[in-house]
Structure 1
């Protein structure tokens, strides 16, 4: 069951509460909400829900097919729920990491990093092209977990990540910060500061980042957005600007190896022979 749709009223209430908090207790750094930025984030969120009707159906059908391919079956028990929630979070970590390290996937994920503000509305700035969930979360179905458990666990993972998109919560108790993804950890993830790039990919657990050496604690103030910001509030440009940049780079590339690299290497990748030449590689996100 996709719980995110049912959570929309709660999302709306918490957005209002956070906005009011900035009205009565402004941030010293003039952070908070900006009308055009927030409107773009909400539009991207609504568009993601609409697009998700198609992608979601495709994903569920593919996952159901994967479940039918395996002889493994896991029952609906409390320990199975623990395993599936942790397992989905593990595979989400690798999906998220791939979304930063493979440019074609980055073209989808860059949407979420395109705001220079960091508040609860930023959590709703989501992609309209998210079919890669099929590949990365699919192994949970092959391991025998029921479709309903996997879909619900994936929804729980996304719901958890809503509240960590805020600057109104400082660092928490150290044991919590060590195990769980928190606002402090996720602020780092949205930072374009050099030391914050490509860090803190975890969904619910930050332990994966500690284990796979992608963890970075919050230190200096975070500069949100992309290393090359797109400077637009047009939802269509926000949704598809990196796909357009990939197409331009592929057309201009010399040879199939370079074309392949423009699509499947990292967002900032340059072929050695072209390293000194300007390229139209689009904005790369805060990792």
Structure 2
């Protein structure tokens, strides 16, 4: 490790010194909190969209869903602030472990953002293909109306998916670069959640996850399910075969929509509750494993099939 340290210390970009752990509090205080600065603008844009929808009777907002989205978003902000130091500790630990640490150079935001977005694609895709991670993501898909408040619907337990972004850290980006990249990526996704931006110029639609491309991702029709995972760049979906253009009108929500649309606890944990119940009733270890890590679509199909073949109780 020391020889590698010496090798990379001769590079102007990769010669950064480790960050002392006693400086983490200071690092946290100096890292720009872009989300906090953006919240007033996000709230203003949401209020304008909501007012426009009601004024023109477009029906893009539902009272109970809006309440649920708001409380889910508030809870997420509180959790994010509470674990901020712990997240920075993880970033610093990885940064100090590798010998090719990059200096704090703001231009490194660009390569970091591209690599981060690639990891985001796979984190997002796995969150749809594995029920365990679907339980940390389904929150975002429970709204049956598509508007800016849907961007507030971020699971309170989504932070376990940081494991998918360790490869970004291992490249050697400075923790502040990683922290800022994460915030910019989150803000980009805010503007995707609207009906009022239709299709953009073809080359923008080809490269970026535009509102049109992301509306497809929130569709519950068979042709739209598990499509368009890209967070900022939609070309990942084109490369990996998960792209679908917006064709027919999107029907939002999940295949079995929730009833309690205003309760943030139900919105966040209904899938976890169902998963635990399925595991409890499973008859073998293999079946338990399937109910935890199997494809959500396959789990749903199996449960429907079993419901159809179960004998109906007849009163004596």
- State the TM-score, normalizing by the size of structure 2: 0.83
1:214-259 CA distance string (max 9 Å, x none) = 1100000000001000111221111100110010010111111111
Asked if 1:94 corresponds to 2:119, the answer is no
Residue 44 of structure 2: aligned partner: 13
Q: How far apart, CA to CA, are the structure 2 residues paired with 1:51 and 1:169?
A: 31
Contact 1:74 1:145 in 2 (8 A): yes
1:99-135 CA distance string (max 9 Å, x none) = 1111111101000111101000111111111222321
Q: How far apart, CA to CA, are the structure 2 residues paired with 1:51 and 1:77?
A: 29
In the TM superposition, what is the alpha-carbon distance from 1:271 to its structure 2 partner?
11
Q: How far apart, CA to CA, are the structure 2 residues paired with 1:157 and 1:45?
A: 17
Contact 1:181 1:205 in 2 (8 A): yes
Please point out which of 37, 59, 78 is paired with 1:50: 78
Q: Which has the higher Rg, Structure 1 or Structure 2?
A: 2
May I ask how many residue pairs the two structures share in their alignment?
276
Q: How far apart, CA to CA, are the structure 2 residues paired with 1:2 and 1:253?
A: 45
In the TM superposition, what is the alpha-carbon distance from 1:274 to its structure 2 partner?
7.6
In the TM superposition, what is the alpha-carbon distance from 1:56 to its structure 2 partner?
3.5
Please point out which of 283, 306, 315 is paired with 1:277: 306
In the TM superposition, what is the alpha-carbon distance from 1:54 to its structure 2 partner?
3.5
Asked if 1:211 corresponds to 2:239, the answer is yes
Residue 26 of structure 1: aligned partner: 57
Asked if 1:158 corresponds to 2:186, the answer is yes
Please point out which of 76, 91, 105 is paired with 1:63: 91
Residue 110 of structure 2: aligned partner: 82
Rate the CA distance shift 1:95–1:261 in 2: closer, same or farther, 3 A: same
Rate the CA distance shift 1:100–1:248 in 2: closer, same or farther, 3 A: same
Q: How far apart, CA to CA, are the structure 1 residues paired with 2:151 and 2:303?
A: 36
More helix by share: 2
In the TM superposition, what is the alpha-carbon distance from 1:270 to its structure 2 partner?
4.1
SS in 1 for 2:36: coil
In the TM superposition, what is the alpha-carbon distance from 1:57 to its structure 2 partner?
3.3
Please point out which of 264, 277, 299 is paired with 1:248: 277
Rate the CA distance shift 1:217–1:200 in 2: closer, same or farther, 3 A: same
Residue 29 of structure 2: aligned partner: none
Rate the CA distance shift 1:198–1:64 in 2: closer, same or farther, 3 A: same
1:167-214 CA distance string (max 9 Å, x none) = 011100001000011000010011101100001111111011111111
Rate the CA distance shift 1:274–1:205 in 2: closer, same or farther, 3 A: closer
Residue 235 of structure 1: aligned partner: 264
Residue 169 of structure 2: aligned partner: 141
In the TM superposition, what is the alpha-carbon distance from 1:278 to its structure 2 partner?
2.7
Contact 1:178 1:207 in 2 (8 A): yes
Q: How far apart, CA to CA, are the structure 1 residues paired with 2:46 and 2:295?
A: 34
Rate the CA distance shift 1:57–1:129 in 2: closer, same or farther, 3 A: farther
1:8-60 CA distance string (max 9 Å, x none) = 10111001111122133333xxx311211111101100011112234433322
Asked if 1:259 corresponds to 2:288, the answer is yes
Contact 1:63 1:134 in 2 (8 A): no
Rate the CA distance shift 1:231–1:222 in 2: closer, same or farther, 3 A: same
- Could you tell me which runs of 5 or more consecutive residues in structure 2 were left unpaired when the two chains were aligned: 1-31, 309-316
Rate the CA distance shift 1:226–1:271 in 2: closer, same or farther, 3 A: closer
Q: How far apart, CA to CA, are the structure 1 residues paired with 2:191 and 2:302?
A: 45
Q: How far apart, CA to CA, are the structure 1 residues paired with 2:302 and 2:40?
A: 53
Rate the CA distance shift 1:44–1:147 in 2: closer, same or farther, 3 A: same
In the TM superposition, what is the alpha-carbon distance from 1:275 to its structure 2 partner?
7.7
Q: How far apart, CA to CA, are the structure 2 residues paired with 1:155 and 1:230?
A: 29
Rate the CA distance shift 1:110–1:275 in 2: closer, same or farther, 3 A: closer
- State the TM-score, normalizing by the size of structure 1: 0.91
